[in-house]
């Protein structure tokens, strides 16, 4: 199995943060997305950013910027599809996705997803909440390039819910520990950013 490439999903509209790019907010003296790059980059063969609008605003990151190929903000699966198309152009067999606003993502994300992959090669990350309930994180997944045309057709047909599509293809579930902190903690609000600062000081 060759190493997958990585796609950081930054295509959301960040309405709860007042708009703009959440990943470009400062955390611990660096941008949130810098933390994501630092953690995901060593795990993949190449890395790109999925974002819409003017790509020049991300020039300082030094990453390829890949826009959604479908109009009207169809959600994170459009970013996954953009990642799959980019991965295919790189000659990769799969892409691993991660959200741009999750600065503490697992250092073993790719290995965990690969170990849990279902028959089609798909896997989603998951973690348990304080009550012990397992929650899947659909923006963190291992996506085989072989399924990209199936996903494109599903999106054009109106599909928006990630797990409906992944369940239909027998995706595996990779569970990650939330000790000492939840690796999938994401920054959606100013309060989240303040909490992330406190977590980063301990991480």
Sketch the domain layout of the chain as residue ranges: 5-202
Q: Which two tokens stand for residue 28?
A: 């611990």
Tell me the pLDDT tens digit for each residue of 69-110. Answer: 887 766 788 999 999 999 999 999 999 999 999 999 999 999
- Please choose, from the candidates 143, 141, 134, 142, the residue with its C-alpha nearest in 3D space to the C-alpha of residue 182: 134
The residue among 147 and 19 whose pLDDT is bigger is 147
Tell me the pLDDT tens digit for each residue of 147-183. Answer: 999 999 999 888 888 889 999 999 999 999 998 888 9
Question: How far apart are the C-alpha atoms of 69 and 42, rounded to whole Å?
Answer: 27
Write down the CATH number for the domain with range 5-202: 3.90.550.10
Per-residue pLDDT, averaged over 57-70, amounts to: 91
Q: Residue 201 pLDDT > 90, yes or no? A: no
CA distances, 99 to each of 51, 109, 119, 172 (Å): 11, 12, 25, 19
Q: Residue 57 pLDDT > 70, yes or no? A: yes
Cβ atoms of 100 and 8 closer than 8 Å: yes
**Which ranges in the chain belong to alpha helices (H)?**
32-40, 76-90, 109-116, 148-156, 162-168, 190-202
* pLDDT at residue number 5: 98
Strands in 47-50's sheet, in edge-to-edge order, are 65-66, 47-50, 5-9, 94-99, 134-144, 123-128, 172-175
Tell me the pLDDT tens digit for each residue of 100-137. Answer: 999 999 999 999 999 999 999 999 999 998 899 999 99
Residue 167's SS3 state is helix
* pLDDT at residue number 41: 97
């Amino acid at each position: 199995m060759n190493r997958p490439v990585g796609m950081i999903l930054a295509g959301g509209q960040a309405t709860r943060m007042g708009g703009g790019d959440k990943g470009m907010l400062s955390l611990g003296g660096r941008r949130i997305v810098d933390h994501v790059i630092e953690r995901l980059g060593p795990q993949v063969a190449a890395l790109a950013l999925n974002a819409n609008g003017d790509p020049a605003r991300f020039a300082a990151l030094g990453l390829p910027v890949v826009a959604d190929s479908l109009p009207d903000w169809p959600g994170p699966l459009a970013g996954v599809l953009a990642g799959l198309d980019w991965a295919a152009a790189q000659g990769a067999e799969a892409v691993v996705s991660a959200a741009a606003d999750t600065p503490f993502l697992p250092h073993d994300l790719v290995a965990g997803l690969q170990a849990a992959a279902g028959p089609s090669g798909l896997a989603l990350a998951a973690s348990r909440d304080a009550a012990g309930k397992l929650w899947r994180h659909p923006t963190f997944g291992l996506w085989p390039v072989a399924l990209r045309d199936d996903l494109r057709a599903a999106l054009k047909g109106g599909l928006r819910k990630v797990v409906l599509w992944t369940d239909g293809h027998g995706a595996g579930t990779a569970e990650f520990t939330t000790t000492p902190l939840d690796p999938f903690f994401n920054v959606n609000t100013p309060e989240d950013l303040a909490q992330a600062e406190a977590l980063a000081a301990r991480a």
